[in-house]
Homo-oligomer: A and B are copies of this chain.
Amino acid sequence: MADISKIKVDGDRLWRSHMDLAKIGALPGGGCCRLALSDEDREARDLFAGWCADAGCRMEVDRAGNMFATRPGSRDAPPVASGSHLDTQPHGGRFDGIYGVMAALEIIRTLNDHGIETALPVAAVNWTNEEGARFPAGILGSSAYAGKWTLKDLHSLKASDGPLFGDELKRIGYDGSLDLGDFAMSAFFEAHIEQGPVLERENLPVGIVTKVQGLRWYEVTVDGADRHAGTTPMDARKDSLVAAARMIVELEAIGLAHRPDARVTVGRLDVSPNSGSTIPGRTVFNIDLRHPETAVLDRIESEIEELCRKSAAHVRRVIDMPPVDFDAGCLADLERSAGGQAIAHRHMLSGALHDASPVSTMAPAAMIFVPCRDGISHNEAEWAEPEHLEAGCNVLLHAMLARAGVV
């Protein structure tokens, strides 16, 4: 057997797998549309399942449609798992999520190439509906796995195009028999493109993600009064959009005041009745707040509440995901792997949520990032360099090998 510490993944094969998957739901601009539990998602799942079978894995599917492909180890113990998601945004790219699943598969193929037997099994995972684009919650499959959803609530979720989650699971043939959370893992690693500018700016191929920012969402409703734009004097108006506009300007100032780590974003805003000649009677918008520290999230939340009070707006917190600190042992494995291969890297935060966040409540977990061009993601122009994908996969390979143990 070759010196195991020297083995590498096959970067060309890893790249080809990305490109083969990208044909499913391909868009004219080079991106993909593979909404969760759509026909395109089924096709991608089938392709992935076929690859896993070819690699000698046993496939299990749970009641959320999460897919677990296990390469046996010498011991009958929970596997060291890795993965992410194959679903995309409506105008998504070829790497977001895909990379994590393909990297896990590439590691299994590499172990096969070298005839390596691990002590613990190794598994590749595809989590359902990470994007939250078709069903109304992101990191859905991994959250369900981590016990955040009852089966009934999960299966009753309605797709943006109408059908229910449970019905769509059955329709595409991925309503598995494994109960939620029953697939035990010794550890979970997730590889993902950064979706931000940090690694590219510093010309680093890999980031080791120590922490995921906390996330809170607020729904703000500003009420005014629908009136005719031509007949209602300027000083006799209750214009909900003007009031919302003032708040949005102040929210940016709040975000800037908590630099560099705070993120305060109004990404969604709906004006009603949204007619050119009517003063808007109601404006509803969403605030996305992120920070790595719970204490600072609390402080900014109270500033948001004060702003809403002053503005006579109604505010409601609709999502609260606490910050996640990844497992020190998993991080040490990643650090040693990158160091041992002299792959340049840094520690960093994740600004986005990933499947590893909920999974970290079920097993020791950590993540790595690789750069993506201009930080662009959720966009057809999303791009990652083959050599970065390969470097990240090699970091993952030796961290997982260390964790799984070689017989």
Contacts and interface: CB of A to CB of B under 8 A. Distances in A.
Given A226-B378, A269-B241, A231 B196 contact: yes
A248 B242 CA distance: 6
A227 interface: yes
Given A233-B260, A260-B233, A271 B268 contact: yes
Interface stretch (A277-285, A303-311, A383-391): A277-285
Nearest to A381: B226
Interface string A218-232: 000000001111111
A268 B275 contact: yes
A352 B263 contact: no
Contacts of A252: 234, 239, 242
A279 B196 CA distance: 12
A268 B263 contact: no
A263 B230 contact: yes
A259 interface: yes
B378 A230 contact: no
Greatest chain B CB density within 10 A among A196, A228, A244, A280 is at: A228
Interface residues of A, number: 64
A38 interface: no
Greatest chain B CB density within 10 A among A227, A267, A353 is at: A267
A267 B259 contact: no
Interface in A75-117: 91
A283 B167 CA distance: 36
Interface of A: 91, 138, 194-198, 213, 215, 217, 226-236, 239, 241-242, 244-246, 248-249, 252, 255-256, 259-260, 262-271, 273-280, 286, 288, 290, 350-353, 375-379
Given A233-B260, A242-B252, 6 more contacts: A195-B230, A197-B231, A229-B267, A239-B252, A246-B249, A277-B352
